Structure 1
C-alpha cells in the first residue's frame, strides 16, 4: 500500500473539506464581521458548494487525459489564493465570489480524488485505498471543524481562513516534492456524459448521494442554531468533536470491511442517519438525546464518502473519472440545496423542522440504496 502518497491525498481531502465546512462553527462571528444575519453567513458554504457543483463535471470531462498530480496542485493553489483572500476582504459580495472560486478548486479535487487513490493501489485493495485517502475527510470533521471554531474565538474567523490557506500552500509544496503522478485515461473511446449516466446503477448512486448529503448539510451547516433548543449552542465546538469521534469510528469500521461488505456497510450507514434524525425530530430539546444522535450521525457520515465512491468505482468501470465528477456535482448540489433549505427554514420557520426534513431525505437514500445499488455490489 503506497502509504506516503495516500497520506498526501488524505491531507488534500482534509483541506478541501475544511475549506468548505469551516464557516459552520463560526456563523455568528462571520455574520457580525460582515454585518449579515446567520442565514446570510450560511451562504458561505452554499457558495462553495455551487462552485464545486458547476465545475466538477466540466473539469472531469476536459481533464480526463491529464496527469492527476498537476490537477491536484492546481486545486491546492486555488485554496491558497481564495482562503487567504477571504482573510482580507471586508464585504459579503467579495467573500461569496472567493468562496465560489474556492468551490471550483474543490470540484476539481473531488472529481479526481477517488480515481487517483484507486490507481495508486493494487486492484484488490482499491476500496481500502479510497478509504485511507478519504480519512482526511474525517480528520477535517474530527479536528479541523472544532479547532476552527475554537481558533476563531481567539483569532477571529479571518485568522482561520488565513491558516487554512497557508496550510494548502504548504501541502502543495510537499506534493510537488513527494507525490507520484498518475496518468489520465488515455486513448480509447471518448465518453460523453449521457452515455455514462445511462449505465445501470449510476443514477441510483447519484440519488443516494444527493438525498443523503442534502440531509447532512441541512443539519451540519446550521448546527449552531440547531443546538439552541437543547441549550448546547454555546458548546458547538464540543458537539463537533463528538460528531468527529463518531466519524472516526465509522471510518475505521469502513476501512476494515469495505472490500468485503460494501453493500452491508452502506445499508447500516444510512440506517444510522435515519435513527439520528428520528431522535432529533422527537427530542430536539433533550441534551442527552441530541448528543447520542450526533454520535450516530457522525458514525454514519464517517464512511459514507468512501462507501459511495467505492460503489461508483465498482459500477462505472472505465468511466470512473467522469462518474466521480458526476458524484461531486451531486454532492455539492446537495450541499447547496441543504444550505438554501436551511436558510429558508431558519428565516421563516424554526429549527424544529430541520430533522424532520432530513429524516425524509435519509429515507429516500435508503430506498435507492437497498432497491437498486446493493444488489449490484454483492459479489
Structure 2
C-alpha cells in the first residue's frame, strides 16, 4: 500500500508499504499500513540514550581531574597528559562528519550499537595502556566514535517518537550531558585518587558495555535517511537556518566553556572559600532543573526558550562580575548559569533538526563539531585570558560572547529560531 508519510514540518514523501516508513513519523489518515508510534514517549529507549550521553561526557572530561595520576602512570608530564583531552576533541572534529555521512543511510540501531562498542574498545585500551602514544591514539578513537554517536542521537530520538513529543524526547535523551558534567568528572576523580586512574576508565568501559546491551534490548530500530533526500555535506550549510544555528552554538558554547574550564581561576580571583567540586555539582543540579524546564516547554515555545536561556546566561555572567567576592552571589550566579545552560543541548539540537529536516543526522554532526571546536578554542582563549588578566576577566568574556549569541539568535527569527514552528 502506498501512503504519505510526514517527514518533518512541511515535508512529505510517498512510501511503498510500512517497511519504507520511518518510525517516529505520523502517517496521514489513509495510510493504515504505515507504522505509527504510540502516544507515549519511548522512555526506556530515551533513557538508554541519556546513559550513553552521560558516558560520552564523562569520558571526555575525565582526564581533567586526573592529570597528576595519569602523568605518573604513563611516566610523562602533566602537560602531555592533558593532551588526552585535546586528542579526544580532535578525533571528534576530524571524524564526525565523514562518519555520519557514511552511515546516514544505514539503519539506526546497528550504527548506534557499533558506535557504543567502538567506544568501549577505546576506553579499554586507555584503561590498560602503558604508553602515552597508544593512550593518545585510543582517545582520538574514542572522540571519533563519540562524534558518530552524538551526530545520530538527536535524529534517532526524534525518529522513534511521535512528532508532538519530539522536543521532549530530545530533552530526555540529552539529560546525560548535565549529569555527566555534574557527576561524571567528580566521580572519576574520586575513583582515580582512591584506587587508580585506570579504574576510572575501566568503570566507564563497564558502563558502556551495559549501555550497548540495554540498547540491543530496549531501543527500537529506525531506518536511515532515504537516498533521495540526502544533501551533500557542503550544501547542508546552505540550508536556511543551519549556519545561523551553528554560529549561536560556537559563541554560546565558547562563552560557557571559558568559565567552566577555568572555574578554579575565577574562584581564586575573589579569594572565595568555595571548592571547584561544590561549584560544579551546584551547576550540575541547576542544569538538571534547566533541562526539565526545557523538556516541558520546548515543543511549544522553542524561540522564547532559546532567547530566554541566553538572556539568563548573560545575567549569570553579570552576577559573576559584580559579586565575585561574595560566596552567596557566586552561588546565585552558578545556579542561574546552570538553569540557563542545562537545556542548551536539547534546544540547539531541536533547532538544527527542524531546520535541516531529513538531513538532521549530518547537521547534528556539524553541531557536535561546533561544540568541540568551542571546547578547544575555550581552552586556548581562557589560558590567554588568565595568563594576562585576573580570573575576573573570564565572566567578562563570557558575557560578551553570550551577548553575541543572543543577537545572532534574535536575528534568526525566520529560519533558525522561527517565531512560529
Q: Structure 2 length as normaliser, TM-score? A: 0.83
Q: Residue 36 in 1 paired to residue 80 in 2?
A: no
- Equivalent residue number for residue 3 of structure 2: none
**2 CA distance for matches of 1:40 and 1:195?**
38
Q: Residue 269 in 1 paired to residue 309 in 2?
A: yes
- Equivalent residue number for residue 316 of structure 1: 356
CA displacement 1:283-307 (0-9 Å, x = unmatched): 4443332222221111122100000
1:217–1:335 contact (8 Å) kept in structure 2: yes
Q: CA deviation at 1:32?
A: 5.7
Q: CA deviation at 1:246?
A: 0.6
Q: Residue 254 in 1 paired to residue 254 in 2?
A: no
- Equivalent residue number for residue 376 of structure 1: 418
More displaced stretch, 76-85 vs 110-119 = 76-85
- Equivalent residue number for residue 162 of structure 1: 202
- Equivalent residue number for residue 6 of structure 1: 46
- Equivalent residue number for residue 127 of structure 2: 87
More displaced stretch, 335-344 vs 23-32 = 23-32
Q: Residue 172 in 1 paired to residue 208 in 2?
A: no
1:274 counterpart SS class: helix
**1 CA distance for matches of 2:213 and 2:90?**
28
Q: 1:107 to 1:121 in 2, by over 3 A?
A: same
Gaps of 5+ in 2: 1-40
1:287 pairs with one of 327, 337, 346: 327
1:311–1:377 contact (8 Å) kept in structure 2: no
1:243 pairs with one of 279, 283, 290: 283
More displaced stretch, 41-50 vs 113-122 = 41-50
Q: 1:66 to 1:375 in 2, by over 3 A?
A: closer
1:376 counterpart SS class: coil
2:258 pairs with one of 218, 241, 244: 218
- Equivalent residue number for residue 340 of structure 2: 300
1:25–1:237 contact (8 Å) kept in structure 2: no
**2 CA distance for matches of 1:117 and 1:233?**
42
2:309 counterpart SS class: helix
- Equivalent residue number for residue 61 of structure 1: 101
1:151 counterpart SS class: helix
1:24–1:221 contact (8 Å) kept in structure 2: no
| More helix per residue | 1
1:42–1:343 contact (8 Å) kept in structure 2: no
- Equivalent residue number for residue 52 of structure 1: 92
2:42–2:160 contact (8 Å) kept in structure 1: yes
Gaps of 5+ in 1: none
Higher gyration radius (CA): 2
2:128 counterpart SS class: coil
Q: Residue 334 in 1 paired to residue 377 in 2?
A: no
Q: 1:289 to 1:157 in 2, by over 3 A?
A: farther
Q: Tell me the number of residue pairs that the alignment of Structure 1 and Structure 2 aligns.
A: 378
Q: Structure 1 length as normaliser, TM-score? A: 0.91
Q: 1:24 to 1:178 in 2, by over 3 A?
A: same
Q: CA deviation at 1:29?
A: 4.4
Q: CA deviation at 1:249?
A: 0.9
1:104 pairs with one of 138, 144, 157: 144
More displaced stretch, 189-198 vs 221-230 = 221-230
- Equivalent residue number for residue 118 of structure 1: 158
Which structure is richer in relative contact order (CA contacts within 8 A, separation 6 or more)? 1
